[in-house]
Structures are given as C-alpha cells and as structure tokens.
Amino acid sequence: MTTLTRVFKGGLLAAALACSCQVWAGTPPGGWVSRTSPTTQDLNGIVFGNGTFVAVGNNGAVLTSSDGISWAQRASGTSRHLAAVAFGASSLNFTAVGSYGTIIFSDNKGASWAANNVDPSYNLLGVASKVGVGERWVVVGNPNKLLTATHPAVPWGQASWPSGSSPNALAVAGQNASGTSRFVVTGRAGQVATSTDGNTWQVLSCGFSDAISPVSVAADMGNIFLAAGFDSRNYFLNLIHITDTSCSTKATTTRDPLNGMAYGNGYVVGVINKRIGYYDTAGSSGNWTAVNTPNNASLNAVAYGNGTFVAVGAGGAIVQSSPASPSSYVGCFKDDEARALPVQLMSQGATVASCIAAAKAAGYAYAGLQYGGTCFAGNTPGYQQLAVADEKQFCNMPCTAANGDTCGGSWYSSIHKTGLSAPAVAEPKYEGCYSDAANRALPVVLSQSGATKKSCVAAARARGLLYAGLQYGGQCFGGNTLGYQKAKPEEESTSCSMRCSADSNQYCGGIWFNTVYSTGLTLGSQPPAGAYQGCFEDKENRALPVVLMPSGATAASCYNAAKNAGYLYAGLQWQGQCYAGNTLGYSKVPQQDEHKPGKCDTRCTANQSDWCGGGWHNSIYKTR
C-alpha cells in the first residue's frame, strides 16, 4: 500500500480539522510561532524558491524572507490585490497574479518587480510553472481565463479548455519533480483538468460537484496532486487525489473548508481560518494532528521551504513551524568517482525534500545530497560512513535552495532513506586473477584510483554489468566478460599481488592483471522489436533528464533500468551514458543519417554490437 493510499483510506483530515470544540492529541514538529510582519495587508499567497520565501497580498503587498523569520517589504509597482505567487525552477523567476489582469514578475528573489499585465477585465486567481522540455507557465482566472507562456516576461497566450467544458478555475499547480511533469487546475462545479504543456487539457471526473480549491503537489508520492473541496450541501470537506489522468474523492468528517495546502519533508499541511492541520507520512498510524494558530491568526496559504512551513493570512499574519530533523537521515558518507549512488537526478538546486522525492519516484532506496545541491540516488548508502563527530567537518554545505537543509560537501554525501527497500542482490563472488591488455577485457572504466571491492562492485552493479575488476592498486573496471586468461592459483600471489591503496587488507590486482568479482547480476533482456524510436538530438536542458548510468550502459541495461524505474523512454548517449524520461527528445535524425558522424555514431563500450548514441544525440527506446 502506498503512502497516499493510506492517506485516503484513513480519511485525510478526518480527525484533524474537525470543529473547534474538539481536542486533538499530539503536537506539530517543533511547534508554530508568529513572526513579525512588516504589513497589515491581508496576505493571500506564498511560495518558496531559490532560497527565498515570497508572500503576496492585497494592495500590491509583497514580502520576502530567506529564513521565514525576518521579512522585508518590497515595492511591487502595483496597488492591485495579488492572489497567488509561483516560482519557476528553470528561469529562477517569481511570478504573482491578481485583480484586473495584474501579472508581475521578479528575477532577483523578489527584490524588484516588473509588470506584464493582461486584459484588465479578468481577475487572475492562480499561477504555476513546471519544467519539462523548457519552462512553461499557466495562469488561471475568472471568468474562464486560461493563459500560458514560456517565460513571465513574454506575451501571454490564451489557451482554451476542451470543447464543451469550462472549469472556471480557482487554483493551479505545476510539477517540477522527477516523473511526468504536468499542470493540474481545479475549479467550480468539481472540475479538474490536467495538461503536460498548458495548451492541451484533459478534463477529469472526480465524483465531486462543488468548488475544488486549493491544489498542491505531493512531491515524494510521485506524480500525485492533492486538492480540497467543500461540500456545501452536507458541510463536509472532501479530499481529491489526482494522478496523471485520473482522480478520486474521499469525504472526511471535517466541517471546515481548506484555504491552503502544501507538502514538504514528509508532511501534508493544510490551513483553515484559525487552525493548522498536518499529516505525518512517516508515521506508522497515519494520524492527523491539528492545533490552533498563534494569536488566532486566520490563514490563507502555506508553503514549505528552508526546512520549515510558513503560512500567511489576514492582517499580514505570518506563522512558521520550527525546523525538525528529518527522520529519513542516515548519515554522512564518503564518495568517489565510482559513485556509491550512481544516478544523478539533479545537478544543482536540490533540497532534502526534493531529492528524496525524486529518488523515491525513480524507485531507489537512498537519496544523497552533495556539494550544496547535487542530488544522487541508488540502493547502497555509501562507501564509508563518518562518525557523527566528523559530520560537520565534511557534510557542512547548506543547500543553496534551502539554507536550513544540509547538502553534503565535496565528495561527501548527506544520505537519506526514501522509504523504499533496496532489491536483494547476491554477494559478489571472487572469480580469480585474469590477465588484461590494452584492449580491455572489462572495457568500462569506473575509477582511475582509490577503488575497493565494495566500491568497484557497487559501481559495476549500478550499470548492470556482470563483472567488476580491480587493477594496479585501485583502478576499477567493469564489463560482461571475465577476462583474457585466468592465472593459475600458484601465480595469483605474483600477478594479483597489489594491495588496494584505499584498504591495505584487500588485493587490487596487479600490472595488467585484474582481481575479478562477479556482481551477482544477470544480463537483462534485449529491448523488444519495435521499441527503438530512432536517433534524437539532445541539448543541455536534457530531453531525458534522469541520469540512470553515467557510463557503461548497453541497450539492454538502459532499457531495463528505465522500464523498472517507471520511465517511458530510455536514451543511450556517447558510448554508454543512459538517460530516462517521459519525452522523446528534440529533433529526430532521418533514419538514413542516424549513424553518420556527429549523430548516433558511437558503439556501446560494454557491448560493441549496440549503438549508444553520440555527442548530444540519444538512441532512444520506448519502454511500454
């Protein structure tokens, strides 16, 4: 049973946000406290991005904070009421929308704003962005307004709903996490619509007929959004669970409408007039807890970032939860170039919550943050865990996107559990000492030095390779053939006699001899007939954004890795890099030109019979 199934089966918020006369057990993580606000204007929306909270409200009010504690008032350039604000992870822009067609945006963390207004006859209610192939933005409003753009500074285009439908949108959310990137719009009359590009929409029937607002991404639950609707006839709150193309509704016993909702660090938090409710997804019982707000503040919106939740509301109210140590944390682990967590999910900008979410969505047991915001994933936590006393010396870099989170260090990873179990793999088996040659028997170079049995086998396993070989005191190679010639037992003491430089208790081959171990894996099946889609151009903004194997992939191993992780496409590039995602790519190379120089012209290092793309070109397979 998934976490989200448990949420709805138990009746989300059923016991948490009931009438004010009810007494609830438990306390929120770290408690909630009021923060000094520089405005008395009602605050209607809040978001966190690029290390900054931005809150917006009536009469053009805009506030910013790096920690949720100290707030600065900013000049927005408008006196219109602002209803919502969103952050674009690609362009690093904040965009706020409001009455009379007001759209303002900031590219400097909310310090200054520019206007890109639209038709003043429309009141704009929601804004969201997502990153797929480039950045996309969606703005919704009344009456029946739907706008899209690729950047908040360019002209906004009018999109339209499918024929015969008009959701009269109230809220919109966009997903930037690993997986299918999409928008979800909720509105009046129980309508929900989803889109991957902001232009083509699919209207869903959720079994609910009243207004649905708000909507929030449940990040580490995969491609899932949570929305709230209030049944005006029976006076019960309903929770709506929205996936890629379907949705379902669960009535609760709560008799209050929900004003705002956010997800972060294992908690789903909802705010109502003078109370805050939250669900601990890491808890064994799945119980909800709710508390009265400090100073009886009436709250309108909530966001997660910098390790805390911040909610805003009437009269400029700001309340914040104290940071809590993530229960997912395993420790600080040393890394090397034969990565213990071999799958790079984000090159920068990761937080603890977003990295765990991405790793879990990709099917891995561990997430690792390194060098201020690089996110890795895999099924082994690391090579060497540091003592707690040494953690602050090596895993000491704050996440650039959330200063309250720790994002490892240089070649040191802050490791977290995702909640998934690592697949069982047989122990590596020693195969013997094998001669090597310039034309490597194990052709995939995994590490030039410093490898050990554990690190070398882990790196080979991560690439789906059958054998790992250690040579010359710590070089690590991988491949699918044992070697050229096995040394006789009496020759091993001279041929494979070099101690590992990183562990003198182990042997790491010799000069042109490998100490070889089988990884315990078997070769996956070849992609089925018809799976190959062709050769596609790639760019720095990767069409297939998830790095499953940085080297050593074959058509079989890349196809099976992408399929097992739930991605629609697998792409092989430059001799054995393996990428995955849910969009094909940029332009397709004509079939007759596929293997010409500069296109998909490189063979796989680990299997010379396979084509492995080329420089900035992917050989792509469809997994289902």
pLDDT at position 13, please? 35
Average pLDDT over residues 560-573: 87
Choose the most confident range, by mean pLDDT, from 6-10, 248-252, 482-486, 614-618.
614-618
Choose the most confident range, by mean pLDDT, from 29-38, 236-245, 457-466, 505-514.
505-514
Residue 207 has pLDDT above 90, yes or no: no
**Confidence band, pLDDT 50/70/90 cuts, at residue 540:** confident
Using CA atoms, how far apart are residues 41 and 53, in angstroms rounded to an integer? 17
pLDDT at position 405, please? 76
Average pLDDT over residues 263-272: 75
Q: Tell me, what DSSP letter sits at residue 510?
A: B
Choose the most confident range, by mean pLDDT, from 201-210, 246-255, 527-536.
527-536
Residue 324 has pLDDT above 60, yes or no: no
359-408 confidence digits (pLDDT tens): 887 788 999 999 998 999 888 887 778 888 788 889 989 888 765 678 99
Residue 21 has pLDDT above 80, yes or no: no
Average pLDDT over residues 296-320: 90
* Number of CB atoms found within 10 A of residue 117's CB: 16
pLDDT at position 285, please? 34
Q: What is the pTM of this model?
A: 0.53
Please tell me whether residue 85 adopts helix, strand or coil conformation: strand
Average pLDDT over residues 537-548: 86
Cβ–Cβ under 8 Å, residues 409 and 397: yes
Residue 205 has pLDDT above 50, yes or no: yes
pLDDT at position 406, please? 85
Look at 22-31, 83-92, 435-444, 465-474 and tell me which has the smallest mean pLDDT.
22-31
Q: What DSSP string describes 310-335?
A: EEEEGGG-EEEEPP---TTEEEEEE-
**Confidence band, pLDDT 50/70/90 cuts, at residue 165:** low
Average pLDDT over residues 55-66: 96
pLDDT at position 370, please? 95
pLDDT at position 327, please? 65
pLDDT at position 206, please? 86
Tokens of 145: 């307004």
Residue 548 has pLDDT above 70, yes or no: yes
Q: Indicate the average pLDDT of the chain.
A: 83
**Confidence band, pLDDT 50/70/90 cuts, at residue 1:** very low
464-486 confidence digits (pLDDT tens): 899 999 999 999 999 998 878 99
Q: How many residues does the chain have?
A: 624
Q: Which residues contact 424 (CB under 8 A, 6 or more apart)?
A: none
Residue 421 has pLDDT above 90, yes or no: no
CATH class of segment(s) 3-321: mainly beta
Look at 324-328, 382-386, 579-583, 616-620 and tell me which has the smallest mean pLDDT.
324-328
Closest CA to 534 of 598, 577, 476, 595: 595
In degrees to the nearest 10, what's the CA dihedral of 97, 103, 107, 109?
A: -30
The residue among 434 and 162 whose pLDDT is bigger is 434
**Confidence band, pLDDT 50/70/90 cuts, at residue 494:** very high
Using CA atoms, how far apart are residues 365 and 611, in angstroms rounded to an integer? 31
**Confidence band, pLDDT 50/70/90 cuts, at residue 62:** very high
Using CA atoms, how far apart are residues 616 and 508, in angstroms rounded to an integer? 35
